[in-house]
Chain A
Amino acid sequence: MLISIRGLHRVYQVGDQEVRALDGVDLDIRKNEYVAIMGPSGSGKSTLMNILGCLDTPSLGSYRLKDAEIGKMSDDELARIRNMEIGFVFQTFNLLPRADALHNVELPLVYAGMKHEQRRQRAKESLELVGLADRMKHRPNELSGGQRQRVAIARALVNKPSIILADEPTGNLDSRTGEEIMMAFENIWKQGNTVILVTHEADIAEHARRIVRMKDGRVESDTINPHPRSASGPAPAHA
């Protein structure tokens, strides 16, 4: 099992009020699954994503990633896990504005301590994979929204992580470009990666093979998607 979550709680203190963002979540995800985590705002899906991405740790319960207990890790160990095991794709792309595409993609490898030549090579390969071989020297403000998100995907892939964790990856894109990005995720998944998609949009979640619905800090339903939408259009009848 790649991810194993048992009895997960996350409690925040807001003033003198206790907010139970996660209230007992159990979830298993195997390698090379394509999972969408859905839910309205306040359902706890963002908190769950933060914990899955090792940006946050549980108040109670267990989160094991590749058999390692995340809850017990120090800040530096969490940073290393984020670096090696997690590839983030954000709604707002979050590229460094002053760095060109190549440098942005290289960044995780810099923190992994990889040598200059090697990481340059890896970053190039990663950008080629998302079809941006001819945009390496462009800065984010010289790229379209879709291209920026593809740079972000290249960055997420570059250190060959165990999980690609995408948070509303199409939220800032028009629907046509959004479909392109979803096709990119489809390809990544087909190449053997594990993709976790966090979204409140049903259309987007429909691309995943498994849909986990959150409500009030708990898993409301966890179902196999019988008719996944292929990225090119509505769900094909012959699927």
Chain B
Amino acid sequence: MNLRESIGIALGGVRANKLRSFLTLLGTIIGVASVIAVLSFVEGLNRFVKEKLLNAGANVLVVDKYGFITSQEAFEEANKRPDVDWGDVVALRQGVRHASMVVPQAGSAAAVRNGSKVMKAVSVGGRGAGYDVVDDLSIDSGRHLSEFDDEERRPVCVIGPEVAEELFANLDPLGRTIRVDRWTFEIVGVTKAKGKMFGQSQDRFVIVPIRTFSKYWQERGSFSIAVKSIDESSLPLAEQESRNIMRARRHQRPGQPDKFGITTSETWLELYRTLTGGIFILTIGVAAISLIVGGIVIMNIMLVSVTERTKEIGVRKALGARRRDILTQFLVESTTLSLSGGLIGIALGAGLALLVGAVSPLPAAVSMPAIVLGIVMSTAVGVFFGSYPAVRAARLDPIEALRYE
């Protein structure tokens, strides 16, 4: 009995009982579809993160008061630490030998106005020289902030394209002024659009020189300091040097925990991995349950099929079918059944992921390994849950089977 013959028979059976086949396959379809959909989102996120997060903040570590905070208690504890001040900036600039750049940053959110037009919750940041590199910003029109702006604490700013669009519409914003809180700033540059990340605009900001920021918003406290290492391999060295300098400036004894925080893109990646890992495990759980349920349904329907076709099995045996011929026939049948479910599931899952990806900020990408996984999973379900009914069919006594009505 060749394989093509068996597959033909199996597909004939699936077609003959369309509704029953569909209901039988529902579990497998849902299981495979959910795996494909989630894997597509994870894959989409992976590509997105690689593209955006890593390129922008490559080889950058950030020293600040808080570090990586995950709980209210940790935040309250970290609040007691000393602020990161201009002295720390100077010390890091002088002391970190593996740094190509040390850029002080400070920021808050504020309302920004041009006459009667108001834009709320705009990110307002102070930046030192080199911010264009660590923040991955390039100028669309005008110029970047300069060392001179900073030293003179000039009231100038560079704005993101969304701010320019919303407050100035068709006017050229260069040379005009905006009000941030109670102060007025002259616009010297507009950056190129960066688009959205996780649904959040990256073009909605006002950047002023860091010392200008300190002058106006001093009471808002602590800096964060971006340290860019010379290259990828020197990042851990730059981190160690930064830590030593910061600890020395805080007179910390060995063994005491840092009274400041250092985060690298690795920290964010770690969080991201934990997050997607969690999603992944959850999906595997959901998929496993629906595949087991789907498999049991397939097993049940195959047992029904074996009983219904007892006479047919008897006839086949009388005509010379061996045990393994019958076994193969029913295994191929259950596998064909579950594989069709798997293929429908793959199409459904991929379709869903791409649809959601198209209408929402969640990125989605269907990957080849996910499709292969879907095929392998559904085949395995068919073979595993089909083997018991198939063995029962193969072991039927031909005389009893022929006598069955």
Contacts and interface: CB of A to CB of B under 8 A. Distances in A.
Interface of A: 50, 53, 55-56, 75-76, 79-80, 82-84, 88, 90, 94-96, 98, 107-108, 110-112, 155, 159
Given A75-B322, A76-B322, A111-B325, A96 B1 contact: no
Contacts of A95: 315
A134 to B, nearest CB: 24
B319 interface: yes
Given A55-B317, A94-B318, A107-B316, 18 more contacts: A55-B318, A76-B324, A80-B322, A82-B317, A82-B319, A83-B319, A84-B320, A90-B402, A94-B311, A94-B315, A96-B312, A98-B12, A108-B319, A110-B5, A111-B319, A111-B320, A111-B322, A112-B320
Interface string B235-261: 000000000000000000000000000
9 contacts: A53-B318, A56-B399, A76-B322, A79-B322, A83-B320, A84-B320, A94-B311, A94-B314, A111-B321
Q: Give the most central of B5, B318, B398: most A CB within 10 Å.
A: B318
A55 B312 CA distance: 15
A55 B398 contact: yes
B93 interface: no
A82 to B, nearest CB: 5
A80 B324 CA distance: 12
A94 B404 CA distance: 11
A239 B324 CA distance: 50
Contacts of A155: 319
Given A50-B399, A75-B323, A82 B318 contact: yes
Contacts of B5: 110
Residue of A56, A94, A155 with most partner-chain B CB within 10 A: A94
B16 interface: yes
Range, interface on chain B: 20 to 34
A10 to B, nearest CB: 11
Chain B interface mostly helix, strand, loop or mixed? Answer: helix
A98 B318 contact: no
Interface string B1-28: 1100100000011001000000000000
A112 B316 CA distance: 12
Given A96-B315, A111-B325, A80 B320 contact: yes
Nearest to A53: B318
Contacts of B325: 79, 111
A79 B399 contact: no
Contacts of B402: 55, 90, 94
Contacts of A79: 317, 320-323, 325
Given A96-B312, A111-B1, A55 B399 contact: yes
A170 to B, nearest CB: 18
A55 B399 CA distance: 6
A79 B16 CA distance: 30
B389 to A, nearest CB: 19
Contact of A88 (B312, B318, B323): B318
Interface in B291-324: 311-312, 314-324
A50 B317 CA distance: 13
B394 to A, nearest CB: 10
Contacts of A112: 320
Contacts of A84: 320
A53 B320 CA distance: 11
A115 to B, nearest CB: 10
Nearest to B317: A79
A173 to B, nearest CB: 18
A76 B12 contact: no
The 5 tightest CB contacts between A and B, nearest first, are: A83-B320, A111-B320, A79-B322, A94-B315, A108-B319
Contacts of A88: 318-319
B323 A76 contact: yes
B7 to A, nearest CB: 14
Nearest to A47: B399
Of A79, A88, A94, A107, most B-chain CB atoms within 10 Å: A79
A98 B11 CA distance: 12
Nearest to A77: B322
Contacts of B315: 94-96
Given A96-B312, A98-B12, A98-B16, A107 B399 contact: no
Contacts of B316: 107, 111
A96 B320 CA distance: 15
Contacts of B320: 79-80, 82-84, 108, 111-112, 159
Nearest to B314: A94
B391 to A, nearest CB: 14
Most chain A CB atoms below 10 A, which of B13, B320, B321, B399: B320
B396 to A, nearest CB: 12
Nearest to A167: B402
A56 B400 CA distance: 11
Contacts of A80: 320, 322
Nearest to B394: A75
A55 B319 CA distance: 10
B3 to A, nearest CB: 12
Contacts of B12: 98
Contacts of B317: 55, 79, 82
A84 B325 CA distance: 16
Contacts of A56: 399
Contacts of A75: 322-323
Contacts of A111: 1, 316, 319-322, 325
Contact of B319 (A50, A98, A107): A107
